[in-house]
A and B are shown apart, each in its own frame.
Chain A
Amino acid sequence: MRRAQLVVVGGGPAGLSAAAVAAGLGAEVMLVDDNETLGGQLIKQTHKFFGDKGHYCGVRGVDIATILSERAGEHSVTVLSATSVVGLYPGKVLGLANGDSFRKLGFESLVIATGAAENSIPFPGNDLPGVYGAGAVQTLMNVYGVRPGRRVLMVGSGNIGVIVSYQLLQAGIDVAAVVEALPAVGGYHVHAAKLVRLGVPILTSHTVKAALGAESVTGAVICRVDGRFRPVAGTDRRLKVDTICVAVGLTPLAELLWQAGCRMFHVPELGGHVAWHDEYMETSQPGIFVAGDVSGIEEASTAMLEGRVAGARAWERLNRRTRESRDIIDSARLELGSIRKGPFGEKATCGKQRLAECVPA
């Protein structure tokens, strides 16, 4: 069985950053990802990133994926693509599956950056073909240039909901409406304002009540909800749509962390169960680190910074603390703090704080 110094699971913004930093410091790094192409969800993100002092301000997500993958390549990270980590066993061993083959890979340190999966919400017909996750719509449109449908109802007005709605319009696809159960738009004002200017109604205090259709979506019923999210009688409205796009948040993909025996806590602000971790992203299991959405749902910018912290700290654990590793950690932590002070950082800050107050042992 092969044993690597540092294994990084997940080749999205967090994992790629962790791998490049650790390899740059001199660690022998293997990066495992279940997709053919590295970049995680960045490869479908065609919008430009915000940030006042971040490294990637004004760059489109898809281009950041390329930059990060190249950087990992320059630092000679060994990449195992199209390979799923299917288990974590005692004695610091991972099980890897690639097609029909299975093998084991040992590690000294591990960074888990598996990301998150999309949530759904319960409504009759939510299993019909034509009901898609927002990420799936982005994949179809932005990666493959395939039309997900003709006319779309967007459920959720968080950042993903408003950004994907705008991307649908860019691709020439109708957005019938955006429904939002809360009384206010959740996402970036700039994206919501663009939608409104282009004539897309954003219906706050509204939800989807049902998807219509026998074999695939032919329509949707929406209605108003009260302050406790209960449907208001007599407010049903039918929309003629062939696609319902669900953008109602994400849940950390934490299976490996459970298997590793990490202390897990349920923190709603972070999207579900997350592993307790210290300020250097190390979990309650020494040598096992987390970074990105799996450590609490945020965004790609914070995922990259957490990846840098985890990668540098993992290297320190294997070697020693140096001026260079400290600089990487300190500057990334400083930047994380400044991003989380922004308008969309409040929830994550609160969640991370709540997690820090939990006792790991």
Chain B
Amino acid sequence: MPSRTSEPDGRLDRHPILTFVRGRRLRFFFNDRPVYGYEGETIAAALVANGVKVFRHTEKLKRARGFFCAVGKCSSCLMIVDGRPNTMVCTEPLRDGCRVEQQTGRGRLA
């Protein structure tokens, strides 16, 4: 595993009233690129921390879509996770080694 000790820029380390207790560091893949997150996070939170904003593109107009509601209601964040399309990554827990890919359109079931 490549050594990387410093946090990506997208994480808050100092906060006046909150302490962030992060779980085990996990490696996962975004479009085949290895990235890191923490146990207890959602996939969406880990992606945003890694600077990923575009989660999918729409079927007809190919508009970019990203994180919006964070509570599993709006369907903006549908991605392909371990080959499975239309996964709502804003509520999907991050798992070690999972493969997350941007989705285009409705996705295809394998």
Q: Are B74 and A117 in contact (CB under 8 A)?
A: yes
B72 surroundings in chain A (CB, below 8 A):
34-35
Q: Are A46 and B53 in contact (CB under 8 A)?
A: no
Interface of B is mostly: loop
Within the complex, what minimum Cβ distance (angstroms) separates B6 from chain A?
15
Q: Are A127 and B65 in contact (CB under 8 A)?
A: yes
Besides A35-B72, A129-B54, A172-B12, 8 other CB < 8 A contacts?
Answer: A117-B71, A129-B66, A131-B68, A133-B68, A144-B42, A171-B15, A215-B53, A215-B54
Q: Are A144 and B74 in contact (CB under 8 A)?
A: no
Q: Are A129 and B55 in contact (CB under 8 A)?
A: yes
Which residues of A232-262 have CB atoms within 8 Å of chain B's CB atoms?
253
A: residues with CB less than 8 A from B are 34-36, 41, 46, 60, 117-118, 127-133, 135-136, 139-148, 170-172, 214-216, 253
B14 CB within 8 Å of chain A? yes
Instruction: Kindly state the interface size class of chain B when it binds its partner.
Output: 35 or more
Q: How many Å lie between the Cα of A138 and that of B17 in the bound state?
A: 14
Q: How many Å lie between the Cα of A132 and that of B65 in the bound state?
A: 11
Evaluate whether A147 and B12 lie within 8 angstroms (CB atoms) in the complex, with A46-B17, A215-B54, A216-B54 already known.
yes
Per-residue A-contact encoding for B54-83, CB less than 8 Å = 1, 0 else: 110000000111111111111010000000
Q: How many Å lie between the Cα of A172 and that of B10 in the bound state?
A: 12
**Nearest B residue to A217, CB-CB:** B53
Which one of A117, A129, A148, A172 contacts B64 once the chains associate, using CB atoms below 8 Å? A129
30 contacts between A and B (CB under 8 A): A34-B91, A36-B93, A46-B18, A60-B17, A117-B74, A128-B63, A128-B64, A129-B54, A129-B55, A129-B66, A132-B67, A132-B68, A133-B69, A135-B70, A136-B67, A136-B71, A142-B18, A143-B45, A144-B41, A144-B49, A145-B12, A145-B18, A146-B49, A147-B11, A147-B12, A147-B49, A170-B15, A171-B15, A215-B64, A216-B66
